[in-house]
Amino acid sequence: MTTVQTIELIIREIAEVGVDDEDFSTSIDLFDYGYLDSFGIVNLIAAIQESFGVDMMNIDFYGEDIRTIEAISATIMKQNT
């Protein structure tokens, strides 16, 4: 499973996104569409730490424009290099 696919599954679980949700994709703004909020970010950071061993506690998801699954995945990949 790719990083993008793993992040997608994590966010689907956190935000309780159904498979029939036509708005949800790896390139949409997760905050603008309401899939993530401050509570969701806390859960996402914990899941990323558990799944990838990457500490993203000091990452500003809002300020650094890490608002899509693709951008989150790219950030994780940078952290792992």
- Indicate the number of domains in the chain: 1
Quote the domain boundaries for residue 45. 3-79
Task: Please say whether the beta carbons of 3 and 73 come within 8 A.
Answer: yes
We report the CATH number of the domain holding residue 53 as: 1.10.1200.10
Residues 14, 51: contact at Cβ < 8 Å? no
For 12-70, the DSSP string reads HHHHT--TT-TT--TTS-TTTTTS--HHHHHHHHHHHHHHH----TT--TTTTT--SHH
Q: Give the number of other Cβ atoms within 10 Å of residue 17's Cβ.
A: 17
pLDDT tens, position by position, 16-58: 999 899 999 999 999 999 999 989 999 999 999 999 999 988 8
What DSSP designation does 62 have?
T
pLDDT of residue 61: 79
Would you say residue 80 has pLDDT above 90? Answer: no
Mean pLDDT score, 71-80 = 89
